[in-house]
Structures are given as C-alpha cells and as structure tokens.
C-alpha cells in the first residue's frame, strides 16, 4: 500500500506542473511547429550598361579604326557602296568629290582598295571618320538620316562588271563586324546603297555584289533590331 501511495503522489506532483504553476505544454500538429528560416539576403545585381564604343579593347583592329572618344557618335547603320570605277583610292575620290561635287572632301568614311591605287583589301580611313562628320554618300533619305547616322564604306571597283575580290570582302567583313560590335548594329541595318530606305534609285553597289552572300559571311544575327528607320 505504501508503494502505491508513493507512486500516486509522484504522478500527481509531475502532472501538477512540477515546481511551477505554468500550464502544461500543448501538443500541436507537426505542421504548426515547423520552423521557417529567414532567406539569406540577396544582393541586387550590379547592372552596367556599357556606352557604345567603350566596352572592348579591340586589340586585333587597326588603331585608326577607333575614332577619338571626345568626338565619337552613336552610329546606327552601315551603307556599302562601290566606286563604279576600275581603280581608285581615298585620295583620288577625295579630289574628285571636291572638284566635281564641290563637297568638303570624300563622301565615305572608309575606302577598301582593290589592288590598283591602294592595296588589295586595304582599308583606308577618311577624314570624315576621324572627325566623326556627317557623310556625303547616300543622298535623298528622309532627314538625311543615312548620311547623319549611317557609316559609308566604299569598295573600289565596278561591281556591275565584276564581283568584288576575296580580300576586299574579307576586309569588309572584318570592318563591318567591328562596327557592329562597337555600335550595336544588327545585320538588318547593313544596307547596300540601293537598298537603303529612302535613298534615291541607284544600282550601287552593283549587280555583282551580293548583299545576301555578304551577310552569310558575317554569320548568324547577333543582335535584335529595335531601331526605327525613317522612311523604312
């Protein structure tokens, strides 16, 4: 009897809250007592929008392809021409454009030789590119947009008579890729003179120059065209 009394007292002591008057702990459903750890703080990504022309070193391109930083414009298109002559170079075209057209000088930004008066595939940089001036190579476009915002590249030769040479095309591709990367110009904004939106009717850059074939040389379209072309 004494043993049963001691057990009863011990049970009563434990169930009565031990040494305090605190209520008995409640048994709750497992889902109610899960601990939710706070998520670790996430740092916001540091987004840098590079200004065109400042994000690469361009170690593999000639230094004169890089215009002075203080003058550099945000070009939006590229227009390809032929000279419609069998020979020539930047100096010859400069003199011709001054004397016959009464322009300030050669209308193009770049001239690519065919091996006659300059090297085969040689890229000549004109004063317009060095000074980042408005071109004089594609008249007739609304608000003169093609001269204001388009980079004019002339290949020496008459491409109604013969196709451009391999070295010319290789140099053109290298130059155009550089300009595309530097200014974010998509393939859809590379024009022949005759396909430039709003330009006057012309055969330039000649029937033997394949713009479709040239764009295949450039590879797949790396950029999306989000620019509205006046008159396009």
Please report the pLDDT score of residue 219 as a whole number: 84
Tens of pLDDT, residue by residue over 41-82, are 433 333 333 344 445 557 789 999 999 999 999 999 999 999
Q: How far is C-alpha 139 from the geometric centre of its chain's CA atoms?
A: 26
Q: How far is CA 123 from CA 48, 140, 210, in A?
A: 33, 27, 20
Please report the pLDDT score of residue 59 as a whole number: 74
Surface-to-core class of residue 29, CB atoms within 10 Å of its CB (0-12 exposed, 13-18 middle, 19+ buried): exposed
User: What is the pLDDT confidence band of residue 220, given thresholds at 50, 70 and 90?
Assistant: low
Give the pair of three-digit tokens for residue 222: 């790396």
Q: Region 214-231: what's the mean pLDDT? A: 59
Report the distance separating Cα 132 and Cα 147, nearest Å. Answer: 11
Please report the pLDDT score of residue 56 as a whole number: 57
18 or 199, greater pLDDT:
199
Please report the pLDDT score of residue 228 as a whole number: 38
Closest CA to 111 of 56, 49, 162, 175: 175
Please report the pLDDT score of residue 189 as a whole number: 97
Average per-residue pLDDT in the chain?
Answer: 80
State yes or no: pLDDT of 3 exceeds 70.
no
CATH tag, 73-217: 3.40.80.10
pTM beyond 0.75: the answer is: no
DSSP string, 200-211: PP--TT-TT--H
Q: Where are the beta strands (DSSP E) in 62-215?
A: 77-82, 110-114, 120-125, 150-155, 190-192
Please report the pLDDT score of residue 31 as a whole number: 43
- Helices 166-183 and 211-218: crossing angle, nearest 10°? 60
State yes or no: pLDDT of 25 exceeds 50.
no
Tens of pLDDT, residue by residue over 118-132, are 999 999 999 999 999
The set of residues, in sequence order, having a beta carbon less than 8 Å from that of 195 and lying 6+ positions away, is 211
Cβ pair 173, 217 in contact under 8 A: yes
């Amino acid at each position: 009897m004494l043993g049963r009394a001691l057990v009863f007292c011990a049970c009563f002591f434990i169930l009565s809250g031990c040494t305090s008057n605190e209520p008995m702990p409640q048994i709750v459903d497992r889902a109610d007592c899960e601990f939710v750890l706070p998520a670790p703080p996430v740092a916001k990504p540091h987004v840098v929008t590079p200004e065109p022309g400042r994000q690469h070193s361009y170690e593999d391109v000639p230094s004169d392809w890089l215009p002075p930083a203080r003058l550099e414009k945000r070009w939006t298109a590229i227009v390809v021409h032929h000279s419609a002559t069998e020979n020539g170079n930047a100096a010859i075209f400069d003199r011709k454009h001054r004397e016959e057209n009464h322009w300030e000088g050669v209308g193009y930004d770049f001239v690519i030789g065919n091996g006659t008066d300059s090297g085969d595939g040689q890229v000549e940089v004109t004063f317009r590119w060095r000074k980042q001036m408005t071109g004089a190579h594609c008249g007739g476009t609304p608000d003169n947009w093609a001269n204001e915002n388009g980079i004019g590249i002339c290949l020496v030769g008459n491409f109604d008579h013969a196709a451009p040479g391999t070295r010319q095309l290789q140099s053109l591709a290298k130059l155009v890729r550089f300009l595309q990367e530097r200014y974010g110009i998509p393939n859809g904004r590379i024009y022949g003179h005759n396909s430039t939106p709003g330009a006057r009717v012309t055969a330039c850059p000649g029937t033997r120059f394949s713009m479709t074939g040239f764009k295949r040389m450039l590879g797949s379209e790396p950029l999306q065209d989000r620019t509205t072309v006046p008159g396009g």
